Structure 1
Amino acid sequence: MRGVEIVRMTGFRATVVVQEPADCPIADVSAATDDPITSVTRSRAAIDGTVVEEFGVAADASAETVDASTAAEMTPVQATDREEIYRFERESTADCACEIIERTGTPISSVRAHDGALLLTFRTLDLEEIADIVDGLRARFDGVLVEELTQDHEDDSSDRVIVDRDLLTTRQREILETAHKLGYFEYPKGANATDVAEELDIARSTFTEHLAAAQTKLLDALLEE
């Protein structure tokens, strides 16, 4: 068996990408601007559950572009030479990717957006919880991928597990290797899903399907006792 040894330890940090989060104002704005949105804050009103969000865009993004990219009513609240901050309100909804994660009891530590996709980062002690969160997101959205999975390293507390590379089909390995080579898993991205699909000469949907299947196999292998 050809394998690679992975050290499994307590404490995980995962970044999940939702490629097409429907009706997400922040993702909509990121699709219309050149720079990624990296500063997002969220709060919930105690009485009616209204969610208030703020996010920053590069100062060279015009207010007209921001307003035209989403149906949400945007209110500018601060401006600097580098960044402009906008605020909007929305009703709490079961279709929100952030709320799907937080309903599991796992808080989101970082919300980012780029090219119309959401990048959601959270921490958990249980690897199985990450798989459950990904399954919940995939039940609602297409193109849900684990972009990053890291662990705190402690030499005296480790659980080594062998992941068999032959779990993946030749095509899945080719897709993972091509995506990695082009910088798909980097942030900011060296390539998006369309770029990788074009390099492989396949449809974008085919790329995301193969990538999701490969990641599911790898997660399943990590979770096996």
Structure 2
Amino acid sequence: MSGLSATVVLRDPESCPVARATSATGESVEAVSRSSPSSPETPRIEEFAIDGEASLEDDDVGVELSRISANEHGEVYRFTRELDGFCACEVVEEEGTPVSSIRADEGALYLTVRAADVETLSDIVGALRERFDGVQLQQLLRTGERETADLAFVDRSRLTDRQREVLETAHEMGYFEYPKRANAGDVAEAIGISRSTFSEHLGAAQTKLLDAILED
């Protein structure tokens, strides 16, 4: 039995207190603990430890913080939040998949999720992109009972000339880097197309590449 394990990156999720904490301090968060509310009316409780000797205030993260303890990794903080749809982890869970791990660094949020197939993973990434900017699929692994070499051949002729041009130009201009050297508008202008057309071609090209990599 095999499946997929993916790390999805949200580059600047302003609604995430944990990601904001890393922006404010310059330190990283390697793990987040979250409660499971018994009803939508029950706030979720979250805890995280910020590395180093950083000290956080409520204004840094946009929520009321409680300093719980300190350990060798730094200060441990707790906060509560309503189930309001502005949490990336909630968006993933709404798709019927738990978040396996959560970490943050330099204002970016890294979520690891597991899915049974490409369609489920595509639904998760699509749902995140509907609510957040800067969502990227950073790492994708096929999981199984045994570790084996799992090579994939990608036939670039699957891409149309325009899709390939969009991918190559976006790559050359630093669209996929962090921090970005170019945004969607910059790349679209360089190619001479609208931003919506750029997004359409980029999405289609990424889907084709994923299908080629992940197909049996």
- TM-score, scaled to structure 1: 0.74
**Paired position in structure 2 for 1:59:** 52
Pairing 1:157-196 to 2, within 5 Å after superposition: 162-166=153-157, 167=159, 169-173=164-168, 175-176=170-171, 192-194=178-180
Q: Can you give the 5+ residue segments of structure 2 that lack an aligned partner in the other structure?
A: 188-197
Q: Secondary structure at the match of 1:100?
A: helix
SS in 2 for 1:62: coil
Residue in 1 that maps onto 2:32: 40
Aligned-partner SS, 1:169: helix
In structure 1, distance between residues paired with 2:106 and 2:150: 37
- In 1, Cα distance between equivalents of 2:154 and 2:9: 23
- Given that 1:54 and 1:86 are in contact with CA atoms closer than 8 Å, whether structure 2 keeps it comes out as yes
The answer to whether residue 206 in structure 2 is matched with residue 215 in structure 1 is yes
Aligned to 1:109: 100
Structure-to-structure mapping, 1:77-156, within 5 angstroms: 77-152=68-143
Higher relative contact order by CA 8 Å / sep ≥ 6: 1 or 2? 1
Pair 1:88–1:156, CA change in 2 (3 A):
closer
Structure having the higher strand fraction is: 1
Q: Measure how far apart 1:10 and its partner are.
A: 2.1
Change (3 A) 1:142 1:108: same
CA distance in 1, matches of 2:17, 2:88: 12
Alpha carbons of 1:165 and 1:193: their partners in 2 closer, same or farther (altered >3 Å)?
A: farther
The 3 A distance-change label for structure 1 pair 79 and 155 is: closer
Alpha carbon RMSD of aligned pairs, Å? Answer: 3.3
Could you say which residue in structure 2 is the equivalent of 1:3?
none
Q: Deviations over 1:25-83 (max 9, x none)?
A: 1111111121221111111232533100001101311234xx33122011111102432
Structure 2 Cα separation of the partners of residues 119 and 57 of structure 1: 15
Offset at 1:109? 0.6
- Cα distance change, pair 19–211 in 1 and its aligned pair in 2 (3 A): farther
Per-residue displacement from partner, 1:3-31 (whole Å, max 9, x unpaired)? xxxxxx82110011112323211111111
Identity %: 41
8 Å CA contact retained: 2:29, 2:103:
yes
The aligned counterpart of 1:12 is 4
| Separation in structure 2 between the aligned mates of residue 104 and residue 129 of structure 1, nearest angstrom | 8
Native 8 Å contact 1:163 1:222 kept in 2: yes
Shift of the 177–83 alpha-carbon distance from structure 1 to 2, 3 Å rule, reads: farther
Unaligned runs of at least 5 residues, structure 1: 1-8, 185-190
Q: CA deviation at 1:133?
A: 0.7
Indicate conservation of the 8 Å contact 1:145/1:215, yes or no.
no
2:111 & 2:60 partners in 1: Cα distance?
21
Return the offset for 1:112. Answer: 1.1
Q: How many residues align?
A: 200
